[in-house]
Amino acid sequence: MRHIPVIVVAGTHSGCGKTTLASGLMAALAARGLAVQPFKVGPDFIDPTHHSAICGRTSRNLDPFMMGEAGVRETFVRATAGADIAVVEGAMGLFDGLEGTDTASTAHVAKILDAPVLLVVDAGGASRSVHAMIRGYAGFDPAVRVAGTILNRIGSPRHLAMIEETKSLPVYGGIPRRTDLAVESRHLGLAMAAETGMMARFGAVVEETCDLSGIIDLARSAPPLPAPAGIPGLPEAEVRIGVARDAAFCFYYADNLDRLVRAGAEPVFFSPMTDRLPDADALYLGGGYPELHAEALSSSRCREDVRSAVDDGMPVYAECGGLVYLTERLTTGEGDHPMAGVLPAATEMTGRIQALGYVEARVAGAAPVLAPGSAFRGHEFHYSRLDCARDARFALELLRGRGIDGGRDGLIAQNAVGQYTHAYFPEGFAERLVEAAGAYRRT
């Protein structure tokens, strides 16, 4: 068994200040010299970048839909090795799960970890009524231990005193309104951590206004979890897999990259905006913001390198932004931008969400990096759409989700496949990509 203090920071609803408070708590704990292991509930890619920058440890996603309950526990226990405390930032409202159920909600994760929940409540415009909301959340599911609250957007000391006249759960802090510490948003969420250091600055606010020692004691009340089976030593790298990672391609699940390493791959990170294609045996192109960097991507010689590599038979796996990059062109408000020209489709950015939600997929077509008949789960969130050639071939049949054309995903060209789905790699997926890379290397 391994005991690690853990606290789940949940919100009553989206926009209540949960992300800012969770990040501020991480920063305050780190400032006290603690090794803080951050986590994020759900398939979010952006909030974890802030966590990682603040804590100096890679933030991990915890998602029971994609990972399964055992996978959540395993990732949690493995990632907390060497940490003093874990902070889990929730998603949406505490009880908001898949299609109105408990599945994959913050409450679901809290129950899997048997962790205490610190509820962030937006107290703006209310006083005694706040306790009616707190008591509703605390009593809604007896299996969820809502152990305390942080009151956000407090207008004044008198406002906080009025709320504290009535008792419900212990209050661990009252955060004043701070419009000067807002983080800019864009169409897929907040700005990435590399673009702003604002979240870390909230640590001083948490230290000043919250009972940090009390929160640490609350985190210590979490019971120990079973330790995972021993991790075998990492194999010697058999292949090199080029991984696009820059401002245009920045959406990756940390567990996926770890699985590639454990399968025998050496990730070689590069920027398609500024670098030539590295010496690699396969490519992994993640999601991100190619639309914000379309001019740089189109003017870089890397797109020609990628096309030549695919023509040569190199296996390529691409998700969302990577899919867009592999198409023939990307149309934005600034015009048409040539892309790699690998997949028989053109991409257009739209003014509204084209798909958002969980995905279940089955491999129904031939693709070198996807085992026929295999299944995986993931998530999609994009504002673009593809216009595909009439004879376009697809690798994936979707049981849930929209994909490229409302039921199919995974556009194929030679040994390349591009899909809107951000997949959480199932068992065997990384090994198959490494195997395909090795076959290409031998030729």
Interatomic CA distance for residues 12 and 20, integer angstroms: 14
CA distances (Å), origin 281, targets 240, 243, 318, 383? 5, 11, 15, 31
3-state secondary structure 265-311: EEEEEECCCCCCCCCCCEEEECEECHHHHHHHHHHCCHHHHHHHHHH
- Among 441, 442, 443, CA closest to 241: 441
**pLDDT tens-place string over residues 12-40:** 999 999 999 999 999 999 999 999 999 99
Confidence of residue 183 (pLDDT cuts 50, 70, 90): very low
Per DSSP bridges, beta strands 329-332 and 335-338 are antiparallel
The string of DSSP codes covering 228-268 is: PPPPPPPPPP-EEEEEE-SSSEEE--HHHHHHHHHTTEEEE
**Is residue 364 classed exposed, middle or buried when 0-12, 13-18 and 19+ CB atoms within 10 A define those classes?**
middle
Interatomic CA distance for residues 330 and 117, integer angstroms: 44
φ, ψ at 91 (rounded to 5°)? -130, 140
Q: What percent of the chain has a predicted confidence (pLDDT) above 90?
A: 85
Q: What is the mean pLDDT of the chain?
A: 93
CB atoms within 10 A of CB 178: 16
Confidence of residue 109 (pLDDT cuts 50, 70, 90): very high
- Among 35, 16, 36, 183, CA closest to 106: 16
pLDDT of residue 237: 86
The distance of Cα 404 from the centroid of its chain, to the nearest Å, equals 21
Interatomic CA distance for residues 232 and 317, integer angstroms: 26
pLDDT at 274 exceeding the cut of 90:
yes
pLDDT of residue 167: 84
The string of DSSP codes covering 68-136 is: HHHHHHHHHHHHTTT-SEEEEE--SSTT--GGGSSTTSHHHHHHHHT--EEEEEE-TT-STHHHHHHHH
Please say whether the beta carbons of 67 and 27 come within 8 A.
Answer: no
- What kind and span of H or E run contains 418? strand 416-419
The overall longest dimension of the chain from CA atoms, in Å, is 75
**pLDDT tens-place string over residues 325-371:** 999 999 999 999 999 999 999 999 998 999 999 999 999 977 878 98
Q: Which amino acid is at 430?
A: A
**pLDDT tens-place string over residues 211-267:** 999 999 999 999 998 876 666 667 888 999 999 999 999 999 999 999 999 999 999
Phi-psi region of 159 (alpha: psi -120 to 50; beta: other; left: phi over 0): alpha
**pLDDT tens-place string over residues 284-298:** 999 999 999 999 999
Interatomic CA distance for residues 7 and 199, integer angstroms: 19
**pLDDT tens-place string over residues 372-428:** 899 999 999 999 999 999 999 999 999 999 999 989 999 999 999 999 999 999 989
Beta bridge partners of 317: 284, 417
- Among 145, 188, 143, CA closest to 10: 145
Q: Which amino acid is at 251?
A: F
Q: 320 catalytic, yes or no?
A: yes
pLDDT of residue 229: 66
- What kind and span of H or E run contains 217? helix 212-220
Please say whether the beta carbons of 75 and 255 come within 8 A.
Answer: yes
Domains located in the chain, CATH noted: 6-220 (3.40.50.300), 239-440 (3.40.50.880)
> Which listed residue (16, 250, 302, 320) is catalytic?
320
pTM: 0.93
SS3 190: strand
pLDDT of residue 351: 86
Interatomic CA distance for residues 73 and 68, integer angstroms: 9
